[in-house]
Structure 1
Amino acid sequence: GGLTDWQKQYNHAINKLRAPVERAIAHLKTWKTLHTGYRRPLDTFPQTITAVIALEFYKNSFE
């Protein structure tokens, strides 16, 4: 068997959400900060990454 129409729609919706997240992760992995080490206080890392990801998604929403 093949997939039902519902399963195809579900897979399409999941893939539509997953693709931008995977691109963002791949983009993050290319940043020097993540290759050389984070030079600021470690407790600021989550806020910094969250802000950068938000800006990246905002930028990509206009492409």
Structure 2
Amino acid sequence: MTDVQRACTTAINRLRAAVERCISHLTNCKVLDTGWRGRLNDFPEALPTVTGLEIYRTSG
């Protein structure tokens, strides 16, 4: 791999890891546990908003 390819791969992996951490946090969250998941259908913007905030928080 060239240096540019390595840099691109690193950047993509950092973003992917942040999203995976966010998903992990959401699946462990009590609010999203059984019985509450259906409520997310009422608020379709909630999940992308929380994901975006988590990515912003982890990227520094």
TM-score (norm. length: structure 1) = 0.60
Q: Which runs of 5+ in 1 are unaligned?
A: none
Instruction: Give the superposed CA RMSD.
Output: 2.8
2:19–2:51 Cα contact (<8 Å) kept: no
Determine which structure has more spread, i.e. the larger CA radius of gyration: 1
Greater relative contact order structure (CA < 8 Å, 6+ sep): 2
Q: Which runs of 5+ in 2 are unaligned?
A: none
Q: Percent identity?
A: 46
Cα gap change, 1:10/1:55 in structure 2, threshold over 3 Å: closer, same or farther?
closer
